[in-house]
Every structure is written in structure tokens, then in C-alpha cells.
A = this chain, B = another copy of it.
């Protein structure tokens, strides 16, 4: 079984990803979509607040109103659009969120540290969570029934609240729990580059080292890839914007992090 993560920007190529993925069903596809959440938030008069962590990572601050839009766009609009594209290609597809089952259990941060005016500040945590447990029974029931699974990055909080979780983190946690043949991470870049030259392959140890050297965004991806590979799952980081992006990633394009 193949596990694929497609970020919001890779989803600009959703028809082609769906066409290509059809050959690998049943699979599990985790999707992102942060840009679309932002655009709908603005339409609904909710101004997104972006916070910067002390280490320089920017992220969306999810308050209660933003969470509402987040769930509507992720688990409603995008999830069903992707399912529709897969159905167009003859894939038996079922769209769920990590909250369903529940499949993804996350812990909400009570407080977070952000940088404002160049100074560090403690603010109440938003409706954002870190995944602390995965229950694969719902996904396995769907796969056994012959259905490919499209999963939106929403989790159930330990207090029962719905939470926004990072799509990469969801994919990595699912990789540890499902032990797929491979985890393919599709984004809008061709893989990992060091000093302008693309990296074809590396060990999980090298990936962990390299994570310290690359920019935010890719560093999180590399760190998670390293941990998934350490646990025995080969990870490929590749562009989702090409023709047959999954087949290319499996055929050698992009950067692979090996167990």
C-alpha cells in the first residue's frame, strides 16, 4: 500500500495527480490546503493571523472562527474535490478527516511562544495540535473494502475538540502506524537541494543532519522523513506539479530518504 501526501500547492495539479494515482489504488492520500483556507477565511471576514515561532517558523494561528473555516475547506471543499477527481478516474475513493474514527488524536498546546516586534511572547495556543496517537482501524476497514482513503488534516483533540494539524506530520504519523511500502511527499519543489544541487538519495541519518542546514518548511519535512525512514519506511520528497508525479517519484525523481 502506498501513502502519499499532497500539499496545497501540489494540489494545483490535482487532476493529474488523481490520474496517476489511479494505478496505485487502494492507497492513502493525505492532503494539505493552507492557501485555500486563507482565501476562504478572507471571504468570510476572518483575517488570518500568522505567527512566527522563536526558531523562525511561520504558521497560521487558528482561533475558533478560523478553525471553523479550516474544517469547512479541508474536510468539506478540498476533500470532496479530490475524491471527485479520483472517482472520475474510476478509483473507489472515500474522504474522511483525521477526526473520523477517531483516526488522529492530537494534543492542543495550551500556550505557545511567538515572536512579535522582534520580542518573544507567550500567547494562548490556538486550535492547533500535535498528533500524539494514531488509530488505523478506520483506514484499514476502508482499505479492506477496496477503498482508497483521502484524509484531511483535522484531528480529534485529547479534550474532544477539533484541531488543525500539520499535513506532513499527519503523513509521517500514518507512515509509522500503517507501515506503507513507501511514503511519497508531493510539494511544489523538486526535492531537497543543497547549495543549488539536488540530492538524489540519503540515509535517514544524513537526512537528520541535513535538516539542520536547510530552510524552515523543508527542515520539518526532512526531520519527519528521517524518522519515518528510521522506522523502516522509505520516503520520497518530489514535485507534485509534473506529469505523472507519483510514478516519477517512485521511478527515481526527487529526493529519497532510505531506511
Residues of A within 8 A of B (CB): 40, 43-45, 68, 71-77, 79-80, 83-84, 87-88, 92-97, 99-102, 137-138, 140-142, 144-147, 154, 156, 160, 162
The answer for the CA separation of A146 and B138 in the assembled complex, in Å, is 9
Task: Select which of B45, B71, B79 is within 8 A of A77 by beta carbon.
Answer: B71
Q: How near does chain B come to A148, taking the closest CB pair, in angstroms?
A: 11
26 A–B pairs (Cβ distance < 8 Å), ordered by A = A40-B72, A71-B76, A71-B80, A72-B76, A73-B76, A75-B75, A75-B76, A75-B80, A75-B95, A76-B76, A76-B79, A80-B97, A80-B100, A80-B154, A84-B160, A88-B160, A92-B137, A93-B100, A93-B101, A94-B101, A95-B97, A101-B147, A138-B145, A141-B142, A141-B144, A144-B145
Closest to A76 in B: B76
Take A43-B45, A95-B96, A100-B95 as given contacts and tell me if A156 and B79 are in contact as well, using a CB distance cutoff of 8 Å.
no
Known: A80-B162, A141-B142, A141-B144. 16 other contacts (CB 8 A): A40-B72, A43-B45, A72-B72, A72-B73, A75-B95, A76-B79, A80-B99, A80-B100, A83-B100, A84-B156, A84-B160, A87-B99, A93-B101, A101-B147, A137-B146, A141-B146
Residues of B within 8 A of A96 (CB): 94-96
Query: In the assembly, how many copies of this chain are there?
Result: 2
Task: Give Cα A87 to B161, complex, Å.
Answer: 11
Q: Which of B43, B77, B102, B137 lies in contact with A76, CB distance below 8 A?
A: B77
Question: In whole angstroms, how far apart are the Cα atoms of A160 and B93 in the complex?
Answer: 13
By the criterion CB–CB under 8 Å, are B137 and A141 in contact? no
- Chain B's closest residue to A70 (CB) is B76
> Complex formed: what's the CA distance from A77 to B68 in Å?
7
- Interfacial chain B residues near A79, Cβ < 8 Å: 75-76
Chain B residues positioned under 8 Å from A146 (CB to CB): 137, 141
- A147 CB to closest chain B CB (Å) equals 6
Nearest Cβ on chain B to A244's Cβ, whole angstroms = 22
Contact for A84 among B40, B88, B137, B162, CB less than 8 A: B162
Nearest residue (CB) in B for A102 is B87
Q: Are B99 and A84 in contact (CB under 8 A)?
A: yes
Whole-angstrom CA separation of A102 from B150 in the bound complex: 13
How far apart sit A242 and B181, CA to CA, in the bound complex (Å)? 50
By a CB distance below 8 angstroms, the chain B residues around A160 are 84, 87-88
Alpha-carbon separation in the docked complex, A156 to B87 (Å): 9
